[in-house]
């Protein structure tokens, strides 16, 4: 819905999109303040100890990496989101360069990607996980994302462009689903929330340099450079994902 709203409002200027985002954020804040209940039952003394811990993010991050399997999954998660975060920046630039698309046209492609992920995550990925296993999909996800990133800038053809977006959307939907699920299953029951929070933090950190690196490569190296750089990073993520499957099989 976000890209659809942005694309429609962009005809009134990009400031309209910014004001709409501010409005939605304020509404979200007010909803959280007045309607979101506390998730921590005060009567549960064990949970109170966890919630009241002085451990910061860095300490929790180091603790998570001290667990070999969880640490390896977090490396995969970081690289995947580092590569994925470039898409909102370089995909529209490539659309303008190859096909002369405007902001409204590019919003349609983001809507398409979101629709693919809704169908994939809502109807298919659960059944696929039961047959293949989450640890195997953690390796398949980076491989699919690498393929989509590599193909997109090769040929200025709309069919290749849409096919690449489809693969990228499937890969992103896979990783957003199976990694948190896998981490929750291999984490101690009293630390699931903390480790999942670390995983979310790792993904958020990865989103910071990704667009900057992609934009720099696009401007100063070439239009295909950020895609190929992301594909190379994802090859590393695939190797770590493969190790996750191997470690899980041994355990």
Each residue's pLDDT tens digit in the chain (251 positions)? Answer: 787 788 888 889 889 999 999 999 999 999 999 998 876 665 554 544 444 445 677 888 888 888 888 999 999 999 999 999 988 889 999 999 999 998 888 889 999 999 999 999 999 999 999 888 888 999 999 999 999 999 999 989 999 999 999 999 999 999 999 999 999 888 887 778 888 889 999 999 999 999 999 999 999 999 999 999 999 999 999 999 998 877 776 66
CATH architecture of the domain covering 55-250:
Up-down Bundle (1.20)
Alpha helix stretches (DSSP H) within 125-189: 125-132, 134-151, 158-186
CA separation for the pair 71, 90 (Å, rounded): 29
Q: What is the pTM of this model?
A: 0.83
CA separation for the pair 210, 195 (Å, rounded): 23
DSSP H/E element including 105: helix 103-119
């Amino acid at each position: 819905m976000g890209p659809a709203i942005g694309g429609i409002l962009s005809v009134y200027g990009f400031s309209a999109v910014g004001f709409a985002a501010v409005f939605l954020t304020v509404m979200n804040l007010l909803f959280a303040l007045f309607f979101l209940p506390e998730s921590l039952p005060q009567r549960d003394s064990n949970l109170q100890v966890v919630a009241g811990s002085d451990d910061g993010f860095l300490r929790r991050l180091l603790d998570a990496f001290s667990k070999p399997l969880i640490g390896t999954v977090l490396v995969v998660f970081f690289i995947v989101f580092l590569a994925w975060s470039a898409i909102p920046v370089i995909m529209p630039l490539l659309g303008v360069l190859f096909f002369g698309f405007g902001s409204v046209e590019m919003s349609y492609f983001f809507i398409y990607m979101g629709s693919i992920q809704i169908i994939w995550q809502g109807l298919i990925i659960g059944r696929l996980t039961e047959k293949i296993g989450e640890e195997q999909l953690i390796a398949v996800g980076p491989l699919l994302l690498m393929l989509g990133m590599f193909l997109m800038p090769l040929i200025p053809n709309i069919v290749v462009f849409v096919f690449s977006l489809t693969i990228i959307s499937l890969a992103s939907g896979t990783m957003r689903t199976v990694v948190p699920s896998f981490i929750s299953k291999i984490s101690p029951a009293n630390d699931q929330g903390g480790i999942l929070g670390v995983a979310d933090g790792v993904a958020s950190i990865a989103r910071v340099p990704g667009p900057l690196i992609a934009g720099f490569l696009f401007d100063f190296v070439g239009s295909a450079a950020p895609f190929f750089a992301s594909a190379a990073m994802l090859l590393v993520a695939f190797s770590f994902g493969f190790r996750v499957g191997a470690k899980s099989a041994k355990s």
